[in-house]
Amino acid sequence: MSEKLTPDTDLTKPVIPAARQGKKSSRVIEHFVAPLEDTPLAAIDNVDETAAPLSLWAEAWRNLRKQPLFLISALLIVVVLVVAFFPQWFASVDPTSCTLDNSAEGARAGHPMGFTLQGCDVYSRMIYGTRASLMVGVFTTIGVLIIGGIMGALAGFYGGWIDAILARLGDIFFALPLILGAIVMMQLPAFRDNRSVWTVVLVLVIFGWPQIARITRGAVIENRNADFVTAAKALGLSRFSALVRHVVPNSLAPIIVVASISLGTFIVAEATLSFLGIGLPDTIMSWGNDIANAQPQVRNNPAVLLWPAVALSITVLSFIMLGDALRDALDPKARKR
Give the DSSP per-residue string, 9-29.
Answer: --TTSPPPPHHHHTS---BPP
Q: Region 202-220: what's the mean pLDDT?
A: 91
> What's the pLDDT score for residue 10?
53
Q: How confident is the model at residue 199 (pLDDT cuts 50, 70, 90)?
A: very high
Residue 235 has pLDDT above 90, yes or no: no
Residues 181, 175: contact at Cβ < 8 Å?
A: no
pLDDT at 190: 87
For a pLDDT cut of 90, what percent of the chain falls above it? Answer: 20
How far apart are alpha carbons 175 and 169 in whole angstroms?
10
Buried/exposed 73-86: b ≥16 CB within 10 Å, e otherwise? bbebbeebeebbee
Q: Looking at per-residue confidence, does 145 or 55 come out higher?
A: 145
Residue 78's pLDDT is 93
Tell whether domain 59-330 is in CATH 1.10.3720.10: yes
Question: What is the rounded distance in angstroms from the CA atom of residue 275 to the CA atom of residue 263?
Answer: 19
Using alpha carbons only, what angle is made at residue 296 by residues 287 and 94, rounded to the nearest 5 degrees?
45
Q: What is the mean pLDDT of residues 118-138?
A: 89
Which pLDDT belongs to residue 166? 87
Give the helix ranges, DSSP H, for 37-186.
41-45, 56-64, 68-85, 122-158, 160-174, 178-186
CA distance 195 to 184: 14
Q: Which residue has the higher pLDDT, 235 or 1?
A: 235
- In this predicted structure, the answer to whether residue 82 has a pLDDT above a threshold of 70 is yes
- Residue 243's Cβ-side half-sphere holds a number of Cα atoms within 13 Å equal to 18
User: Mean pLDDT over all residues of the chain?
Assistant: 81
Determine which of 83-87, 103-107, 229-233, 267-271 has the lowest per-residue pLDDT on average: 103-107
Q: How many CB atoms lie within 10 A of CB 199?
A: 19
Please give the single-letter amino acid code of residue 219.
A
Residue 220: burial class (beta carbons within 10 Å; 0-12, 13-18, 19+): buried
For residue 106, is it left (φ>0), alpha (ψ between -120 and 50) or beta? Answer: beta
Positive or negative torsion for Cα 59, 65, 266, 139: positive
Q: How far is CA 201 from the centre of its chain?
A: 19
Provide the pLDDT confidence category of residue 171 given band limits of 50, 70 and 90: confident
Q: Which pLDDT score, from 0 to 100, does residue 1 have?
A: 47
Q: With a threshold of 0.75, does the pTM exceed it?
A: yes
| Angle, alpha carbons 52-249-59 (nearest 5°) | 35
Percentage of residues in the chain having pLDDT higher than 70: 81
pLDDT of residue 296 exceeding 70: yes
* Interaxial angle between packed helices 56-64 and 303-330, expressed in degrees from 0 to 180 and rounded to the nearest 10: 130
Using CA atoms, how far apart are residues 91 and 76, in angstroms rounded to an integer?
18
> Which distant-in-sequence residues (6+ apart) come within 8 Å of 158 by Cβ?
239
- Mean pLDDT, rounded, for 236-246: 85
Amino acid identity at 65? R
Contact assessment for residue 322 and residue 78, using Cβ atoms and an 8 Å cutoff: no
